[in-house]
Structure 1
Amino acid sequence: MSWKEVLPVEAEQMLNAKEARCVDVREPEEYADGHIPGAVNVPLSELPERIGELDPEQVWIVVCQAGGRSMRACQYLAAIGYTGLHNLSGGMNEWMGEVE
């Protein structure tokens, strides 16, 4: 496995320290209902077409609602050479940090 599971508290620390950026792979209407501040919305269904929006050199925290779609996104990104990937364990269901 070429990505790590990250707990929400660890993810929040990484984001606050600017050590990582967040990509939310939920659909736009889910993202609009509340997302991690600064998260870029690239739905899993659009990931192949929009891959250019995600810097492969960047450390990414990948988030969805519960962790399944973000895991699939991590699998896809790892398969095409991304290395700094962290799947947010439990997704937005477990996120206790700020939401916008």
Structure 2
Amino acid sequence: MVAELAPETVRERIDGDESFDLIDVRDGEAYEDGHLPGAEHVTVEELEETVAERNWADEVVVYCYVGQTSVQAARLIEEYGDAERVASMDGGYEAWESPAADAD
């Protein structure tokens, strides 16, 4: 079962300079329009091709638009990758963006 992390938890890890792989599985245009600090863009198709060969960090956090595709991608990494802990960001990029919009 893939763990789901709240956007606030992911934000704290980024701000705390924790070492982990942060993977954005949205399409390229969405990534270019905005992404989490330090996120690497890897489409689901690219992930399927490289998951077993890649050297993953001990911890991996995956996100997508609303947190559904990222759960599937995280399961893929959990099963075929060498990461110790894999999680999906609950609510995806939309949930990440909403606290910033509330602060305006």
TM-score (norm 1): 0.83
Is the contact between residue 42 and residue 50 of structure 1 (CA under 8 Å) also seen in structure 2? no
CA distance in 2, matches of 1:79, 1:95: 26
Partner of 1:15: 14
Gaps of 5+ in 1: none
Partner of 1:88: 89
Partner of 2:3: 4
Q: For structure 1, which segment, 28-37 or 78-87, has the greater mean C-alpha deviation from structure 2 after superposition?
A: 78-87
The alignment-based identity, stated in percent, is 30
Q: RMSD of the TM alignment (CA)? A: 2.1
- Partner letter of residue 89 of structure 2? L
CA distance in 1, matches of 2:39, 2:93: 12
4+ residue runs over 6 A deviation: none
Structure number with larger C-alpha Rg: 2
Q: For structure 1, which segment, 56-65 or 33-42, has the greater mean C-alpha deviation from structure 2 after superposition?
A: 56-65
Partner of 2:41: 41
Higher RCO (CA 8 Å, separation ≥ 6 residues) = 1
SS at 1:45 equivalent: helix
Is the contact between residue 22 and residue 40 of structure 1 (CA under 8 Å) also seen in structure 2? yes
Q: Deviations over 1:7-63 (max 9, x none)?
A: 000011112212233110111111111101110000112112233785323311101
Partner of 1:76: 76
SS at 2:22 equivalent: strand
User: Between Structure 1 and Structure 2, which shows a larger proportion of helix residues?
Assistant: 2
Is the contact between residue 70 and residue 88 of structure 1 (CA under 8 Å) also seen in structure 2? yes
